[in-house]
Structure 1
Amino acid sequence: MLVFIARRLFVSIWVFLAASVLVFILSTNVRDPLAEARQLPETARESAIRVITERMHLEDPVLVRYFRWLSDAVTGNLGVNRQGLDVNARLETAFSATLQLITGATVLAIIIGITIGVISALRQYSALDQTVTFIAFVCFSLPLFWVGTLLKQFLALDFNDWLADPVISPLFIGGIALITGLFCGGVVVGDRRSRITAFVSSTAAMAILLSVLSATEWFSDPSLGPIVVALTAIGGAIGFTTLVSGLEWKPPLQAALIAAAVGIVAYFALDPVLDDPQLLTIVLLLLVTVGICFAIGWFLGGDLYRRNAIPAAVLTGVFTGAVIFVDRMLSSFQSYSASVNNRPISTVGAETPNYEGTFWESGLDSFGHLALPTLALVLISLATYTRYTRASMLEVMNQDYVRTGRAKGLSERAVVTRHVLRNGLIPITTLIAYDIGTIVGGAVVTEQVFGWSAMGSMLFDGIREGDPMPIMAFYVVSGGAIVLFNMVADIAYAFLDPRIRLS
């Protein structure tokens, strides 16, 4: 594998350098960098042209300028832009903003898209499958700028106004309850009676839940509380155990339930620590959670069930910690909303200027600014992952070894998780790696719609000003990410498909 990585790295470096030459030549000819200086009054024109010419070395041939940039870039110096500002500083700010913008959207799109794709494949040609297909094609066809504008108007502005009197109308309650019931009824695998039971129970449960939340005005001061946290943790333990090993195996279920119990105890024990923590504290708590849950799965699983008990316990522990995190953040919603004039969902920018608050209030501020662009990117990207996953799953489900697994008496869960899903994810790996590599370059349209100054904006500014330095800084990050993540995809193939050997 080391030989393969070294060979791929050697080839990738030459591809990266060859592409950098092409990008540099194109960026120097995209626009005249002296166009604005030539429009100045005659008294200042010559001086401005001379300064820009010297700063950008416009008198030198293009290849000389390229090798000057390359020699500086190797040392980490990406030069200065047309105004004489340090490109490294601009890149650091832009890259940080891009990571905030695309990380959550990418993770959500991958998780939700693959999950819906798997369910759609398992329920092929059902009403759920046809509905998902229709919604996926609609989302895939929508222009991003139009989606962003609609979200700003009908989600952010209307939601902020609604929070002043958070009462849910009976029509809305009925619509959401009906959609929930149809989804649950479509997901359940069984006879018609089982699907009808799931539809009726989930519809009634959602209607009752929304009615209670509306009557208590929960949305104006939301929090989960210890009872909801405990029930959610136990439900997560059962769900993750079912996914990993099935409930017929007791040790994994016991490990997951103990991990949930430890999380519930930590909910009360860590109350002073979580009052206003630092980010480092949250990271350390996450690492401690993983370590404790790993130990629980290791000892309770034994030699026979350890392989399933460890992931069940770790997933339950991390999930319980995430629920506690959400509960603490929601508890600070009322104070944060009051500090931003009851407009918690923002439509412009990455943060509230000069805002100072607790850790949880600052987190809500970041979430309020990320909500709309993240949702817009998820809606557009979701369709791709859903359709690719569904097609890949259906192709694998028709293979001979899947039918053989069922004929040997393996449970449907084992067939789906161990054989179908693992092999079905192989082509999805390429899609994920390519998407992550490309979106690191920023989402230009999204940034423009929501007023973010990130990687896409830096590229756009460089093109508009005819300045190759910001464009090349953009290329270094985005091109490097594409090369890196494509190599990661190749390596991941060997772990997903034992038939592939990288030696």
Structure 2
Amino acid sequence: MIAYAVRRLLIGIPVLIAASIFVFVVASFSGNPIDDMEARNPPVPLETRQLEAHRLGLDKPLVERYVNWLGNLVLHGDFGQSTEKTINIGDQLGDRLWVTLRLVFVAMLLAVLLAVISGVLSAVKQYSKIDYGFTFVGFLALSIPSFWLALLLKEAGVAYNQSTGSQVFYTLGDQDYNHDTFDTWGKITDIAGHMVLPTISLTLITYAAWSRYQRSAMLEVLNSDYVRLARSKGLRRRQVMIRHALRTALIPLATITAVDIGGIFGGAVITETVFNWSGMGTYLLESVTRRDVNSLLGWLLVSGLVVIVFNIIADLLYAVLDPRIRYE
């Protein structure tokens, strides 16, 4: 199984390279950051613009620029120069990835738990009030745009804080500006407090679709021959549900979770923007605004690697959920 995971990881490398080439070409032709210097009033001197173009490597052919970027990354772990001289792309990606991953991980965990619970209950109690209730909530969450849901939660948090006269919900930032002065427990509670509303927003828009998949998969398994055989053998209902039905029904959910990880990162971009988080989402928007090609490539590389790793984890879970699946 370890060899399989390593092979899958190696196969993902050409995919990342192909994606980076596409992004590099599109970003390079979408605009030149030196153009902003020329448009200033008064315009930046020509010599200064030439020095900046040389620093960013914009005075070299497109292919040579990409080869140099890839070589420096592989040999030295250098993501290249940013259009902002004070920004180190590697450090920025490391700090912001941690901010986004903690949001995405907690939101995915809660979404999976809610999807499993609601999906199983809906399938077991098919066409009951419980089923109709979970179905209504799921379709309601699916119909609400993610940015609108985040804005509603933010406004609700602000209104509640104003009505109570205390800071119960944090609506701006991923941590307090005095975060570094807190003790360990203070830092944990500070981060947890700022995560409440963004996590709820990202969880709801993710859970809705997954719960429908889980319900459908559970219904299909409950109507299968081997589950009916297990019941006819006199096994306890709980044993049939957990050991025979639920384990098999979790396989489609593991698949859709791995496939949706890219979409979850997209939802994180919107959520982080609404709540003014300093994560990967806002870093992407800032890089696009600055026309910072190297920052865009670094963002793509890190995000793509996260997606590939999550897909490998999902593949490995198949063997845990269904012992018949084995990787040679």
Q: TM-score, normalized by length of structure 1?
A: 0.61
What is the aligned partner in structure 2 of residue 424 from structure 1? 249
d(CA) in 2 for partners of 1:482, 1:153: 32
What is the aligned partner in structure 1 of residue 35 from structure 2? 35
Q: Deviations over 1:130-181 (max 9, x none)?
A: 1111110110111112111211222x123223435xxxxxxxxxxxxxxxxx
d(CA) in 2 for partners of 1:364, 1:134: 34
Higher relative contact order (CA 8 A, sep 6+): 2
Structure 1 residues 362 and 482, CA gap change in structure 2 (3 angstroms): closer
Q: TM-score, normalized by length of structure 2?
A: 0.92
Structure 1 residues 360 and 6, CA gap change in structure 2 (3 angstroms): closer
Structure 1 residues 128 and 160, CA gap change in structure 2 (3 angstroms): same
The CA deviation at 1:43 is 5.8
d(CA) in 2 for partners of 1:46, 1:487: 50
d(CA) in 1 for partners of 2:152, 2:18: 42
Structure 1 residues 359 and 83, CA gap change in structure 2 (3 angstroms): closer
d(CA) in 2 for partners of 1:66, 1:494: 40
Q: Deviations over 1:92-119 (max 9, x none)?
A: 2211211232222121111122111111
> Which consecutive unaligned segments of at least 5 residues does structure 1 have?
165-341
* Map 1:311-350 → 2, pairs under 5 A: 342-350=166-174
What is the aligned partner in structure 1 of residue 285 from structure 2? 460
Q: Which moved more, 1:429-438 or 1:400-409?
A: 429-438
What letter matches 2:231 in structure 1?
Answer: R
The CA deviation at 1:357 is 4.0
Matched, 1:367 2:182: no
Q: Deviations over 1:375-413 (max 9, x none)?
A: 111111110221111111111111100000000001110
The CA deviation at 1:46 is 1.5
What is the aligned partner in structure 1 of residue 307 from structure 2? 482
Does the residue aligned with 1:463 lie in a helix, a strand or coil? helix
The CA deviation at 1:435 is 3.4
* Number of residue equivalences: 325
d(CA) in 1 for partners of 2:9, 2:158: 49
What is the aligned partner in structure 2 of residue 170 from structure 1? none
Q: Which moved more, 1:429-438 or 1:51-60?
A: 429-438
Aligned alpha-carbon RMSD (Å): 2.0
What letter matches 1:157 in structure 2?
Answer: V
* Map 1:22-421 → 2, pairs under 5 A: 22-42=22-42, 44-74=44-74, 75-84=76-85, 85-154=87-156, 156-164=157-165, 342-355=166-179, 356-421=181-246
d(CA) in 1 for partners of 2:149, 2:2: 45
Structure 1 residues 43 and 131, CA gap change in structure 2 (3 angstroms): closer
Q: Deviations over 1:183-215 (max 9, x none)?
A: xxxxxxxxxxxxxxxxxxxxxxxxxxxxxxxxx
The CA deviation at 1:501 is 2.5
On the 8 A contact 1:72/1:79 being kept in 2, the answer is yes
